[in-house]
């Protein structure tokens, strides 16, 4: 490895398994000291335990790296504050935050309970907001003290947040919200030396193995496992390093060996009457605009 993150202190949430685990190990391999956060919950967010986080810490230390476990709920103010405090108290600094924690409660909209909506929004969207809030408050204080950091945040969205996904209304809404949060936070915190980007990864994890069972099975004897979560981590590590200077407010889709810069919402065909439309006129003008615009990509699972 190149030591790309040597001396940096990195927090990864939801790092006990899947993508988070892969990110934590990749950062450690590049010389970072890692705070491994994981609440140890099941796929649906129930239960808890310190085992997954500590297992990743043990893997890192066994390889000669430095890491510490954190098992509090980062979707609470106290849990998020203690996450940042763990980095500062253990290593004396914080350089990079990777927001990754999440779980699924998939239902079609007519069967989606309010509790399932709230739980998924809480862990994904609030679980991004609170660590981000406490981390950027620290970096703002550092800047005001004359120590402007080279801070990095990588948020985790999804193709479901970009295009929608049938049966995942709660998850899609939360992941779309993370993109909006990323864009606002990047604009607000640039003055404090903070760069904030988002990724929309695709990989084989607990959250995707049932959805993509036919296409995401680990290959037998193949030289390259296209769906391994480790394929996503190199981009995350680079974004979390000082080498990514100047890159902020961007969304990247990443899968296997592919990296795509997502362009997001931008103005398409437009018409301006210069006065108020009648409903019939507005409809006719809209149909004309749609005839010259690109059709939207279908939501995942749409037929």
pLDDT tens-place values along the chain, 303 residues long: 789 999 999 999 999 999 999 999 999 999 999 999 999 755 554 545 568 999 999 999 999 999 999 999 999 999 999 999 999 999 999 999 999 999 889 899 999 999 999 999 999 999 999 999 999 999 999 999 999 999 999 999 999 999 999 999 999 999 999 999 999 999 999 999 999 999 999 988 655 554 444 444 555 566 789 989 999 999 999 999 999 999 999 999 999 999 999 998 899 999 999 999 999 999 999 999 999 999 988 999 987
How high is the pLDDT of residue 10? 98
How high is the pLDDT of residue 45? 45
Q: Which of 82, 91, 165, 175 is catalytic?
A: 175
How high is the pLDDT of residue 143? 98
Cα 103 → chain centroid: 12
The CA-CA-CA angle for residues 82, 150, 175, to 5°, reads 60
How high is the pLDDT of residue 101? 94
Question: Quick one: the chain helix, strand, coil %, rounded to 5?
Answer: 40, 15, 40
How high is the pLDDT of residue 41? 59
The CA-CA-CA angle for residues 204, 17, 134, to 5°, reads 115
* The residue to which tokens 């790296």 are assigned: 65
How high is the pLDDT of residue 217? 53
- What is the model's pTM? 0.91
Active site residue 158: yes
Look at strands 66-70 and 96-99 and give their pairing.
unpaired
Active site residue 82: no
Q: Which of 82, 126, 157, 158 is catalytic?
A: 158
The token pair at 17 is: 């398994």
Active site residue 33: no
How high is the pLDDT of residue 218? 55
Cβ atoms of 127 and 75 within 8 Å: the answer is yes
Helix residue ranges, H only, the chain:
18-29, 51-62, 77-91, 114-121, 127-144, 159-163, 169-189, 233-239, 279-291
* The residue to which tokens 């060996």 are assigned: 257
Element (H, E) at 98: strand 96-99
Q: Which of 171, 241, 244, 300 is catalytic?
A: 171
CB environment 56-87: b (16+ within 10 A), e (fewer): bbebbeeeebebbbbbbbbbeeebbbbbbebb
Q: How far apart are CA 224 and CA 220, in angstroms?
A: 10
The region, left, alpha or beta by phi > 0 then psi within -120 to 50, assigned to residue 254 is beta
Q: How far apart are CA 116 and CA 96, in angstroms?
A: 31
Q: How many C-beta atoms lie closer than 10 Å to residue 115's C-beta? A: 9
Residues in Cβ contact with 130 at an 8 Å cutoff, skipping those fewer than 6 apart? 74, 75, 76, 77, 79, 80
* The residue to which tokens 């988070």 are assigned: 20
Q: How far apart are CA 82 and CA 193, in angstroms?
A: 22
């Amino acid at each position: 490895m190149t030591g790309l993150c040597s001396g940096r202190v990195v927090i990864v949430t939801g790092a006990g398994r899947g993508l988070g685990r892969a990110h934590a190990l990749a950062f450690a391999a590049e010389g970072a000291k890692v705070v491994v956060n994981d609440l140890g919950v099941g796929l649906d967010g129930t239960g808890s335990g310190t085992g997954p986080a500590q297992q990743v810490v043990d893997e890192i230390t066994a390889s000669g790296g430095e890491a510490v476990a954190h098992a509090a709920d980062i979707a609470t103010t106290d849990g998020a504050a203690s996450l940042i405090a763990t980095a500062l108290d253990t290593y004396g600094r914080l350089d990079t935050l990777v927001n990754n924690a999440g779980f699924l409660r998939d239902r079609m909209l007519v069967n989606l309970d309010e509790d399932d909506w709230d739980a998924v929004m809480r862990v994904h969207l609030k679980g991004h907001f609170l660590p981000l809030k406490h981390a950027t408050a620290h970096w703002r204080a550092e800047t005001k003290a004359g120590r402007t950091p080279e801070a990095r945040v990588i948020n985790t969205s999804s193709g479901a947040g970009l295009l929608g996904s049938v049966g995942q209304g709660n998850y899609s809404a939360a992941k779309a919200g993370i993109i909006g949060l990323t864009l606002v936070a990047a604009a607000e915190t640039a003055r404090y030396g903070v760069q904030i980007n988002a990724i929309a990864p695709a990989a084989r994890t607990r959250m995707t193995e049932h959805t993509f069972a036919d296409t995401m099975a680990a290959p037998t004897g193949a030289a390259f496992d296209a769906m391994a979560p480790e394929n996503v981590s190199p981009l995350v590590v680079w974004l979390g390093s000082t080498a990514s200077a100047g890159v902020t407010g961007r969304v990247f889709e990443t899968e296997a060996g592919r990296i795509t810069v997502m362009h997001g919402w931008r103005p398409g065909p437009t018409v301006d009457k210069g006065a108020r439309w009648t409903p019939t006129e507005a409809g006719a003008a809209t149909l004309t605009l749609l005839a010259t615009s690109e059709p939207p990509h279908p939501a995942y699972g749409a037929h």
